[in-house]
Chain A
């Protein structure tokens, strides 16, 4: 089936540093998402992105967070500066469209971020 690739699978950084999480979405998908999951808990919506713009973001999407997809390449989540509470698994997802069966989200395998 369609695959969303996330690299790296695990990243360890010191508090206050910047981190960029990379996502290679399914090639013909148009909508992109980031979710945050603390171990064993809920998948929490951060942001969705379409046509080069953020469509919606949640309260978890702090001012230190930003997303972009320059020139149709990786869809990235940047956190600058990082805080201890940012430690979690971050899942990227993409969907073909919205409506008519196109809204199925395909998730990447996640990036485990550890902030020390």
Chain B
């Protein structure tokens, strides 16, 4: 009951359009949902997170949505730029602080 599914695995979008990545989790005790961006050869870096007491959070062009009933959460990047091209990982964690990552999405923003 700890899997985090993430789709799509590869996402290509035109510069200026929006990109959406969807994740689902199994553990109903999960209450913390971070998103990490990983550039090639680099470490993952937190870009935005949401906790179970919220349904929506926005930081600049990043929007995360959380549907606890459906056990789904998503990341939306509006007005994508070439610098947004990277691997993106969703993750889910409960109070045991075991952070389980999704399978990753390779985002390519095409000029």
CB distance from A1 to the nearest CB of B (A): 9
A interface majority secondary structure? strand
CB distance from B5 to the nearest CB of A (A): 11
Q: Which residues from A are CB-within-8-Å of B96?
A: 55-56
CA distance A97 to B106 in the complex (A): 30
Asked if A107 lies at the interface with its beta carbon under 8 angstroms from chain B, I say yes
Count the B residues whose beta carbon is within 8 Å of the partner chain — how many? 23
When the two chains form their complex, are residues A33 and B99 in contact, meaning their CB atoms are under 8 A apart? Answer: yes
Q: Which residues from B are CB-within-8-Å of A40?
A: 87, 104, 106
Q: Which residues from A are CB-within-8-Å of B97?
A: 31, 48, 50, 55, 95, 98, 103
Identify which of B34, B95, B102 contacts A105 (C-beta below 8 A): B34
Total A-B residue contacts, Cβ distance less than 8 Å: 56
Asked if A75 lies at the interface with its beta carbon under 8 angstroms from chain B, I say no
When the two chains form their complex, are residues A48 and B98 in contact, meaning their CB atoms are under 8 A apart? Answer: yes
When the two chains form their complex, are residues B89 and A43 in contact, meaning their CB atoms are under 8 A apart? Answer: yes
Asked if B110 lies at the interface with its beta carbon under 8 angstroms from chain A, I say no
CB distance from B58 to the nearest CB of A (A): 17
Asked if B46 lies at the interface with its beta carbon under 8 angstroms from chain A, I say yes
Q: Residue of A at shortest CB range from B4? A: A42
Q: Residue of A at shortest CB range from B93? A: A103
Q: Residue of A at shortest CB range from B100? A: A45
Asked if A109 lies at the interface with its beta carbon under 8 angstroms from chain B, I say yes
Q: Which residues from B are CB-within-8-Å of A107?
A: 36, 43-45
Q: Residue of B at shortest CB range from A112? A: B41
Chain A residues 36-76 with CB under 8 Å of chain B are: 40-45, 48, 50, 55-56
When the two chains form their complex, are residues A105 and B104 in contact, meaning their CB atoms are under 8 A apart? Answer: no
Q: Could you name 5 residue pairs across A and B whose Cβ atoms are closer than 8 Å?
A: A42-B101, A91-B43, A107-B36, A107-B45, A110-B43
Report which B residues bind A (CB closer than 8 A).
Answer: 32, 34, 36, 42-46, 49, 87, 89, 93, 95-104, 106
The 7 closest A-B pairs by CB, nearest first: A107-B43, A43-B101, A98-B97, A56-B98, A42-B103, A109-B43, A107-B44
